[in-house]
């Protein structure tokens, strides 16, 4: 890894990020004369000004609690003292690792990922209707309404797709934190645009390269792409001002004066 990249990956970070998104993409790397699939994990923070900042990247072949614990411990050692909300896919060991290092952080599953995973089980002719019914769950006004809508979903679809309601129930404690928040904050944590647009750019790079000769090569290419993309991050994320006001009330005891 070049000195510039190493310096970027270990640079000091801000003490507080109200929102942190965790996402990743698959890359192909040549290793021991064969091609293996690895995951490039991205941790994107939104700072108090509402600006996006990629906190770091990590390449791994086998993730689990130990791997994620090392990632969030690294962020802590680089200066991060608090995160209000972490929005993520439900990767094994990830929610638990966040809560171990930052015990006051609320973990919120990304609804886009959850819906996308649910639709894998669904035939094309039912996809639109199922997606609409799932929206009724996560866009409900209250947790109670969401539970009722999940029950209605199960009654309607369990005969054909029993795994969907079961997977939502299994993850329910990570679905419901959103209902404690106002629409302003829900909008801010729901929108995965913050990280999806970055992913799109990086996926283009992986398509162009197809196979990387090493982890170091992949990391350097992705680092250069991130530097290009982040130059456009000059504006706060959408609806940031009202969301920040809500954060100040919701997390008054942890909000900087």
Q: With both helix axes pointing from N to C terminus, report the angle between 162-170 and 111-119 in degrees, rounded to the nearest 10.
A: 150
Provide the pLDDT for residue 158.
97
**Residue whose tokens read 């680089």:** 78
Q: Using DSSP, state whether 232 is helix, strand or coil.
A: coil
pTM over 0.85: yes
What is the C-alpha separation between 152 and 208, in angstroms, rounded?
45
Contact 220, 29 (CB under 8 A): no
Question: What does 86-112 look like in DSSP terms, one character per residue?
Answer: EEE---TTHHHHHHHHSTTPEEEE-HH
Q: Render each residue's pLDDT in the chain as its tens digit; 257 residues.
A: 688 999 999 999 999 999 999 988 889 999 888 999 999 999 999 999 999 999 999 998 878 889 999 999 999 999 999 999 999 887 788 999 999 999 999 998 888 888 999 999 899 999 999 999 999 999 999 999 999 999 999 999 999 999 999 999 999 998 998 898 888 788 777 655 667 778 888 888 777 777 899 999 999 989 998 998 899 899 998 888 988 998 999 899 999 98
Q: Hey, what are 237's tokens?
A: 């994320």
């Amino acid at each position: 890894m070049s000195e510039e990249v190493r310096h970027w990956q270990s640079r000091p970070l801000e003490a507080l990020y109200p929102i942190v998104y965790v996402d990743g993409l698959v890359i192909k790397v040549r290793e021991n004369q064969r091609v293996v699939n690895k995951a490039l994990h991205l941790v994107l923070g939104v700072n108090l000004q509402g600006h996006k900042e990629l906190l770091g990247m990590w390449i791994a072949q086998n993730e689990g609690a130990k791997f994620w614990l090392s990632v969030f411990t690294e962020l802590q050692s680089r200066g991060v003292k608090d995160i209000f909300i972490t929005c993520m896919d439900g990767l094994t060991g990830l929610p638990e690792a966040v809560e171990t290092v930052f015990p006051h952080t609320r973990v919120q599953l990304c609804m886009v990922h959850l819906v996308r995973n649910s639709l894998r089980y669904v035939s094309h002719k039912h996809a639109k209707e199922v997606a609409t019914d799932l929206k009724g769950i996560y866009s409900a006004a209250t947790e109670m309404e969401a539970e009722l809508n999940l029950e209605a979903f199960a009654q309607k679809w369990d005969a054909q797709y029993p795994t969907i309601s079961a997977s939502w129930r299994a993850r329910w404690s990570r679905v419901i934190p959103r209902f404690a928040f106002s629409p302003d904050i829900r909008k801010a944590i729901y929108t995965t645009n913050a990280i999806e647009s970055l992913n799109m750019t990086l996926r283009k790079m992986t398509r162009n390269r197809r196979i990387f000769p090493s982890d170091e090569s992949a990391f350097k290419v992705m680092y250069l792409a991130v530097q290009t993309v982040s130059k456009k991050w000059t504006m706060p994320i959408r609806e940031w001002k009202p969301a920040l006001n809500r954060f100040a009330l919701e997390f008054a005891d942890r909000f900087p004066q």
